[in-house]
């Protein structure tokens, strides 16, 4: 019995497919990551989100990428036709609120570390399913990769804009968009050119994207910036790597 048959046995009224299952995983993990993001000090202290506000941000993070992807494909978004998207994203939002609160009770540094790993885990799922959506629509390869980038980044864009911050896609960071591109290219090669079925291609591409993102966070790899006069760029603040954050004596800056 495969996972589709197992879920169909539990929920006979839902037409589960491999695509739907992976898309639901992408939505749920990104919803959880969205709440953990909104619980970061520089996001929360300025805004003082309510519980309802955090749940809405969970929806932004969870279905934002999928809705944007489906609109680009001229489709009614799956989140509007299948209630499981909203149910799972709201459930992930509740888990994120409780988990984020308990993480801060333990320590802020535990929360920071948890968010670092969670964002690495959630990002590749939407990348692979975006590429698969493009392949299903018989789009050119470059358009498939574009959908693979839109999926995992659109939700973060909505959260950043709502929080009054510059969107993560456009500023210094540890290969946020680059991870989406790498994962998308890996899935495209595995699925289209090597002929792997959806689950093996997904898991391999996920492992590549997750490993690269964690390595970028661990070693502090960042996207290159343009060469501009120092008077224009100013002094760049130091960004702490995940390796530094994992040291026993590390404490987050106030």
Measured in whole angstroms, how far is the alpha carbon of residue 206 from the centre of its chain? Answer: 12
pLDDT of residue 229: 83
Going by the DSSP 8-state scheme, the letter that residue 189 receives in this structure is I
Residue with the larger pLDDT of the pair 45 and 125: 125
pLDDT of residue 254: 55
pLDDT of residue 239: 81
User: In the chain, where are the structural domains located?
Assistant: 3-224+239-245
Cα gap 143→107, rounded to integer Å: 43
Residue with the larger pLDDT of the pair 99 and 194: 194
pLDDT of residue 128: 97
Give the tens place of pLDDT for each residue, 70-103: 999 999 999 999 999 999 999 999 999 988 776 5
What confidence category does residue 140 fall into, taking pLDDT thresholds of 50, 70 and 90? very high
Contact 215, 207 (CB under 8 A): no
Copy the structure tokens of residue 243. 């390796």
Q: How many residues does the chain have?
A: 254
pLDDT of residue 237: 79
Cα gap 155→62, rounded to integer Å: 7
Average pLDDT over residues 107-112: 68
Average pLDDT over residues 180-207: 97
What dihedral angle (degrees, nearest 10) is formed by the CA atoms of 199, 204, 208, 209? Answer: 0
pLDDT of residue 252: 66
Copy the structure tokens of residue 175. 């290969």
Q: Which residues contact 51 (CB under 8 A, 6 or more apart)?
A: 97
Nearest Cα to Cα of residue 160 among 60, 240, 27: 60
Distances (CA, A) of 63 to 23, 48, 191: 10, 23, 24
Average pLDDT over residues 1-12: 69
pLDDT of residue 154: 96
Nearest Cα to Cα of residue 40 among 113, 121, 123, 122: 113
Copy the structure tokens of residue 247. 């040291």
Residue 195: HSE in the Cβ half-sphere, 13 Å Cα cutoff: 0
pLDDT of residue 75: 95
What confidence category does residue 8 fall into, taking pLDDT thresholds of 50, 70 and 90? low
What confidence category does residue 108 fall into, taking pLDDT thresholds of 50, 70 and 90? low
Cα gap 35→62, rounded to integer Å: 10
Cα gap 20→183, rounded to integer Å: 19
Average pLDDT over residues 39-45: 82
Mark residue 245 as left, alpha or beta (left: phi above 0; alpha: psi -120 to 50; beta: remaining). Answer: alpha
Average pLDDT over residues 3-26: 82
Q: Is the pLDDT of residue 51 over 70?
A: yes
């Amino acid at each position: 019995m495969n996972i589709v048959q197992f879920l169909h046995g539990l929920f006979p009224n839902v037409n589960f497919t491999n695509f739907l299952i992976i898309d639901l995983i992408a939505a749920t993990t990104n919803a959880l990551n969205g709440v953990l993001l909104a619980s970061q000090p520089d996001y929360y202290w300025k805004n003082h989100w309510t519980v309802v506000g955090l749940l809405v941000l969970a929806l932004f993070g969870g279905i934002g990428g999928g809705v944007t992807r489906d609109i680009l494909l001229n489709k009614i978004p799956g989140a509007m036709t299948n209630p499981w998207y909203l149910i799972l994203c709201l459930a992930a939002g509740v888990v994120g609120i409780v988990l984020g609160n308990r993480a801060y009770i333990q320590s802020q540094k535990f929360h920071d570390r948890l968010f670092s790993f969670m964002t690495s885990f959630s990002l590749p799922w939407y990348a692979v399913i975006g590429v698969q959506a493009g392949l299903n629509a018989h789009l050119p390869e470059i358009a498939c990769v574009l959908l693979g980038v839109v999926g995992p980044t659109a939700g973060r864009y909505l959260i950043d804009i709502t929080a009054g911050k510059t969107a993560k896609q456009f500023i210094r960071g540890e290969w946020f968009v680059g991870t989406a591109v790498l994962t998308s290219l890996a899935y495209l090669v595995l699925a289209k050119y090597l002929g792997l079925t959806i689950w093996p291609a997904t898991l391999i591409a996920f492992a590549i994207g997750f490993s690269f993102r964690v390595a970028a966070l661990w070693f502090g790899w960042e996207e290159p910036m343009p060469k501009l006069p120092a008077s224009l760029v100013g002094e760049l603040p130091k960004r702490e790597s995940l390796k530094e954050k994992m040291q026993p004596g590390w404490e987050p800056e106030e």
